[in-house]
Amino acid sequence: MMWRLFAVSLLGSSAAFAAEPESGLFCPLAVEPNAGLTETTDALQKRFLSVARERSGYALLLRKEAEEAVAGAKVADHAQSDASLSKVAVQGKVQNAGFVSLRLTDRNELMLQGRVVRADGKLLKASMLAVPRGTEPLLDVLATAAERFFDQLNGVTPPIAAATPVASGSDGKPPVAVVKPSTPPNPGTPLRILGAVLGGAGVATTVAGVVVFAGAGTVELDAQGNVSAVDAPRVKGIRAQQGAALGLLTAGAALAVTGLVMVLAAPNAPVTAAVAPRADGAVFVVEGSF
């Protein structure tokens, strides 16, 4: 019985050992100075490392231990050199070492770019990702960017982003993918489409009104300005046709104006249009922000 318990315990310990993540460290986050980065470098470093511990997939050294390993390696080009980064890993007595830089781009995006190198000098992973700065607190935006960065670094494509591969360089390094959030649909597009449809219908109705008015015909007047006896029976029909034409012209103009306003207003604000009755007729009212 004791032998069986010992065997089960031994198997459990072996499984736990096999599942243990590889050791690693990340050099201090390289922050490119920019007035738009309103937080201190220390605050940015702490937030980045807190995400790295959860999402990088490595058992990371403490921040102080990583800084001591970088200083002890006595290399200054680990930002570009894989060999130098491997020296940092050896100095820190870990299997892998990573380097990540942060900068605010001209397009107001937070860009993270970095790689992981094994202690023997082999490049394991490389990635680059940019997310909009937005209006959220800078540290929260950095945390979101870091989560997506490590997901991408480990081969997990974020569901709200699309990766675009970039060709490998002449040094044979793996391709770097640039991930940017998908662009949300323009809220003004449906309004523009509806406006174009109404505008087209308005133009067509106006043309129809002109055709009907032109087809109504004319009557001859005598010297006193009265309708001649020959044309008198046609007066009622002509007036009815002209009235219908004026109705088409009014409706066409209203539709055309409404369509034009909707196209110009999108996507700033919704636009409403209505016909308001008055004692002397009606007035076409359009409301909205331009």
Q: C-alpha angle 180/79/65, rounded to 5°?
A: 105
pLDDT at 11 over 90: no
Q: What is the average pLDDT across 10-30?
A: 71
Q: How confident is the model at residue 146 (pLDDT cuts 50, 70, 90)?
A: very high
Q: What is the average pLDDT across 69-84?
A: 90
Q: What is the average pLDDT across 210-228?
A: 66
The model carries a pTM of: 0.50
Residues comprising the chain, all counted: 290
Q: What is the average pLDDT across 105-111?
A: 94
| pLDDT, averaged across the chain | 76
Distance CA 96, CA 85 (A): 9
Distance CA 277, CA 94 (A): 82
20-181 has CATH 3.40.50.10610 classification: yes
- Continuous segment of H or E residues that includes residue 71: helix 63-73
Question: Mapping DSSP to helix (H, G, I), strand (E, B) and coil, where does residue 167 land?
Answer: coil
